[in-house]
Amino acid sequence: YNINVFKLNDRIIFSSNAGFYVYDDIADRFFRYDQLNAMLGSFASSNKIIAAAGKKYWFIDRGRVALADFSVTGKLRLDSNRFSILNGRMVKYYENISRINNNLSLISIDDGFAIYNDGDTPPASLQMLPGVLVRKVEKFGDRIRTITNLNDIEIPYSQNNIRINYTLPYYRQAKIEFQYYLEGYSKKWSEWTTQTQREFTGLGQGDYEFRIRAKVNNQVSGITVVHFSVLAPWYLTKIAFVGYLIIVALVYYAIKRYYKYKLTRHQKRLREKLQHEKEEFLQKEAIAHQQRMAKMQNEQLQADLDRKGRELANSAMNIVYKNELLQRIHDEITELKDSNGKKLSPDQLRKIQKVI
């Protein structure tokens, strides 16, 4: 039956799909509130009543809104035409209207809020439009995440896509258009559009300023600004740069050690090469020296041989000469004769030869 209890002008009434009822203490039973139902018309089946300023009440019938004025006793002035723009835009069964002060009321709608001013207002053409209300900011990458704190928005680089939902809290029946500009991304203001959300994808790191304004009947609202930042990717953060410096230092140290190692090996090879060349040179010098010594020895031996040959030849000549001399002496001795004219005897010859 969808029965709810409300207090209307200090009287308890009960709502139902069939209209409003009142309770009679004397008869101890419920009676239809025919007088009220007749004055409310189609709003007699309202499921919610919310007190407004003075003797005014909001009647809400499943998304439809009307403002009833009970200021004059016995009469009811019901205004639903001015709020027809809200029909179907309130969350069904969760409708809510909050009174800010005696003139202003905040109406919850499905995509934001609307403000109703019940006081004496200038003509619509002279009214200042309210600022655009940013309802929701979402960042999305692999999945969508809603940003709750709109005062300090920081978006990781891995989720550098952002969706901004906005609305104009304006209840009059009129075409509302929006124009936006993202400083650091857009080159100029966008064209006027009725869309109530905008997506920006692939944002680079840096600070951004999203500006949004609305236009109603050629009247432009003030600019609403939302600041947000896209953080640097992990490889451009301060910690990453510290890591890069460490890596560069390690690479520099490794290269230095490597070149030092190569230089040491090169110097070692040079020393070994020089030592080898020195040893070869010394070996060649030793061989040459030995060859020279051998040559000198050979020459000395040859000289000695020549000298010995000459000496031998001289000796041989002397011997030959002596032999010839001895032979002549022998011949002469054999021819010797004694005083008697006789040849000497063999004994005498042997003695003489022995003496010679």
Following DSSP, what letter does each residue of 67-83 receive, concatenated? EEE--STT--EEE-GGG
DSSP count for the chain of H helices, then E strands: 3, 20
For residue 215, with 0-12 CB atoms within 10 Å meaning exposed, 13-18 middle and 19 or more buried, which class applies?
Answer: middle
Q: What is the structure's pLDDT at 236?
A: 84
Q: Residue 93 in 3-state DSSP?
A: coil
Tell me the sheet residues that pair with 76.
Answer: none
Q: What is the structure's pLDDT at 95?
A: 85
What is the overall mean pLDDT for the chain?
84
Q: What is the mean pLDDT of residues 1-23?
A: 86
In the predicted structure, residue 291 carries a pLDDT above the cut 60 = yes
Query: Which has the minimum average pLDDT: 23-37, 259-273, 314-328?
Result: 314-328
Q: What is the structure's pLDDT at 124?
A: 47
Q: Write down the residue that tokens 């002469």 correspond to.
A: 332
Angle at 212 between CA 167 and CA 174, to 5 degrees: 45
Interior/surface letters 278-290, b for 16+ CB within 10 angstroms, e for the rest: eeeeeeeeeeeee
Residue type for 279, please?
E
How far apart CA 94 and CA 355 sit, in angstroms, is 175
Question: 217-276, pLDDT tens digit by residue?
Answer: 778 888 999 999 999 888 888 888 899 999 999 999 999 999 999 999 999 999 999 999
Strands of 112-117's sheet in order across = 97-99, 104-109, 112-117
Cβ-contact 76, 69 below 8 angstroms? yes
In the predicted structure, residue 44 carries a pLDDT above the cut 80 = yes
Query: Which has the minimum average pLDDT: 70-84, 146-160, 222-236, 329-343?
Result: 329-343
Number of Cβ within 10 Å of residue 225's Cβ equals: 14
Q: Residue 182 in 3-state DSSP?
A: strand
Tokens found for residue 42: 């189609």
Query: Which has the minimum average pLDDT: 32-46, 65-79, 196-210, 329-343?
Result: 329-343
Q: What is the structure's pLDDT at 144?
A: 82
Q: What is the mean pLDDT of residues 98-120?
A: 81
Residue 279: CB partners within 8 Å, gap ≥ 6? none
Model confidence at 126, pLDDT cuts 50, 70, 90, reads very low
Of 221 and 349, the structure prediction assigns the larger pLDDT to 221
* pTM for the full predicted model: 0.46
Q: What is the mean pLDDT of residues 278-293?
A: 88
